[in-house]
Amino acid sequence: MWIAGRLNRTEEPQETAGAESGTVTIGGIAAGVLSRGEERDVPLASPGGYAWRPKNGERVLVIKGGTLGEERYVAGSMDLAQEQEKLEDGEVCLFASEGGARIVLRNNGSVEIEGDLFINGGLYVPPES
């Protein structure tokens, strides 16, 4: 009877953590991620209207789905502390890694843009004051 009860318990789906951190081992659209083991061709998930590609070595959030957590998605970067320290509560920053372009939406209504600004494919040069 004990054995039958034990077998019944193992047939039930085991609960798994819904997310874990991982490190990107292969950057790109279908990333390779190392968490408890390495998985490749992990699809990316992001909010609508936003596209990104993780780079090799970046720490990311891996969301697990499916009955036993067999489906995985890379949902976002966890290497944001340096950028988050520059923001006040409620502010938003969109930036490219490695010191590239950056856009900050401030609580006071200002928009800060760093880098070259192209409008309809042409470089915008502000008039001299």
User: How many C-beta atoms lie closer than 10 Å to residue 69's C-beta?
Assistant: 17
Length of the chain: 129
Question: Which of 45 and 68 is assigned the larger pLDDT?
Answer: 45
CA 3/CA 19 separation, integer angstroms: 33
Evaluate whether 39 touches 72 at the Cβ level (below 8 Å): yes
- Reported as a single tens digit per residue, the pLDDT across 71-129 is 889 988 888 888 888 899 999 998 887 778 999 999 999 999 999 999 999 999 989 87
The answer, yes or no, to whether residue 26 has pLDDT greater than 60, is yes
N- to C-terminal Cα separation, the chain: 88
The overall pTM is greater than 0.75: no
Domain ranges of the chain: 15-77, 81-123
Please state, rounded to an integer, the average pLDDT across all residues of the chain.
Answer: 84
The answer, yes or no, to whether residue 1 has pLDDT greater than 80, is no
Evaluate whether 2 touches 17 at the Cβ level (below 8 Å): no
Give the model's pLDDT for residue 78: 85
